[in-house]
A and B are shown apart, each in its own frame.
Chain A
Amino acid sequence: MDNDIVIQVSDLTKRYGEILAVDHISFEVKEGEVFGFLGPNGAGKTTTIRILTGLSKPTDGNASIFGLDVNSEILQIKKYIGVVPEISNLYDELSAMDNLIFMAQLYGIPAFERKKRAQELLKTFRLYERKDSPFRTFSRGMKRALTIAAALIHNPKILFLDEPTVGLDVVAARSLRNLISNLRQQGITIFLTTHYLEEADLLCDRVAILVKGKILAIDTPLSLKEKTDKKSLEEAFMKITGLEPEILAIEKGK
């Protein structure tokens, strides 16, 4: 295994009864890169993240993070990863500060550092003025920002972001993208799932295109555009996934 590979997935499969959610996928993520996991709804993006973060068990195949097996060494892995789920799931009743301090407690951050770290993150995410406000009073964009802050409380080396800009307005989404770029500059490896292809084109070093649980292509956005002879990642995505004829058929129907 290369020294700079931090996530290694081999033949990973997840089956829910008759449904094959993830179908023998294999890929690697290098240290410090932004890796995009692209696909339509139901492609298996979230399922893959859930397996890699220990929230679900694979039916078959292997996955490791920093050489640690996700099945048997997940508690060790969790110390190195931060996860931002699709739904902002912090505690409504707790204030922004209390939510971050609670997360810091769970990660075993020493008492004297907890408040300092929480304050730093609240300032970084421009939420410091609302530090004592309950989470439930936050706007969707603020909730998203605080959820990311919570995922960063223990200085993770890898950040999993599951559809981070879904439901955000243009300004909040743009602000979040800038934040992701900043995190990358700090050396954090980012595993990003999204179905916003412009976002992936803008942020990702490499992307994997996933449809019905199978990876159809992995490459840089530029290379995918060149290989498919398309100008945008969206068009390349359409061609790779075979969605293009469907779109054309709809347009002809007009």
Chain B
Amino acid sequence: MGRDNLRGIFYIALKDIKTYYLKPPAVSWGIVFPITWILAFYLRNPGDFKELVPGLIAMTILFSTTSAEAVVINFELRIGSLERLLLAPISIAAVLLGKVLGGVIFGFLMTTIVTIVSVAVLKIHPNVLYLILIILPSLFVFSSLGALLCVMVKEVFEAQTLLNLPRFLIIFLSGVVYPISKMPLVLQYFSYVLPLTYTIDGLRESFSAGLSKIILLDTSILTIFFIVFIFPAIKLLYKKFE
């Protein structure tokens, strides 16, 4: 990846944040939606709110990174702006990574706000290094998942529909609100192939001064998920321009 591509990735990400992410719908999906969901779960089953903080952060990661992805990729493909990017001396992979990085940066801003407010209000003391080791790869995983699902379809509405299915499935099966250990055995196995399971696990460890081995294992698995999502996404985008 040369200097031209790295520069392209950076400026595409900045442009996307300015053009798409820092807008009410993206902020609403990225931050208001997870808070509303968590509050709804809390009101249904009141207990120690601190227990829900890892779930809240995980949902913020999931929704903020994928909130504008359908627009960012499919809309630009439709109106031809994505082609405009490809006329610059940067590769298709760099264009897609720029899109993914835009989601990551926006997700990082939203997740940082939610985490700082949660920690300050609830007076909890997470291991900050562990948090970073879990949050950062998670942001890349879900932003690349969003990108992958978007390049699989043609229209913006198709991408949004396709994104909603895994998002809601992931929330219910990854232990955000319901412990995986209490699920039926089949669903427990299924949860292990969902990346948010490792985000939640790592976040819980970060808030309970857990073992660094578990954090490193979760980080490694999340990195594998990123690779699994990003390479097919790049390949599919290449195919669109063959």
Contact = CB atoms under 8 A, between A and B. Distances in A.
Is B a genuine binding partner of A? yes
Interface of A: 53-57, 75-76, 78-79, 83, 85, 87, 89-94, 102-103, 105-108, 150-151
Nearest to B20: A93
Main secondary structure of the interface of B (DSSP, over half): helix
A7 B159 CA distance: 39
A107 B89 contact: yes
A93 B2 CA distance: 29
B168 to A, nearest CB: 30
29 contacts: A53-B87, A54-B87, A55-B86, A55-B87, A55-B241, A76-B89, A78-B87, A78-B88, A78-B89, A85-B80, A85-B83, A85-B84, A87-B80, A89-B79, A89-B83, A89-B84, A90-B84, A91-B81, A102-B11, A102-B15, A103-B88, A105-B11, A106-B7, A106-B89, A106-B90, A108-B3, A108-B4, A108-B7, A151-B87
B83 A91 contact: no
Contact of A57 (B2, B11, B12, B242): B242
Contacts of A103: 88
B115 interface: no
Interface string B88-129: 111100000000000000000000000000000000000000
A91 B242 contact: no
Count class of interface residues, chain B: 20 to 34
B241 A106 contact: no
B153 interface: no
A105 B7 contact: yes
A85 B229 CA distance: 31
B91 A75 contact: yes
Nearest to A84: B87
Nearest to B7: A108
Interface in B1-53: 2-4, 7-8, 11-12, 15, 18-19
B132 interface: no
Given A55-B83, A56-B241, A90-B81, A106 B19 contact: no
Contacts of A76: 89
B136 interface: no
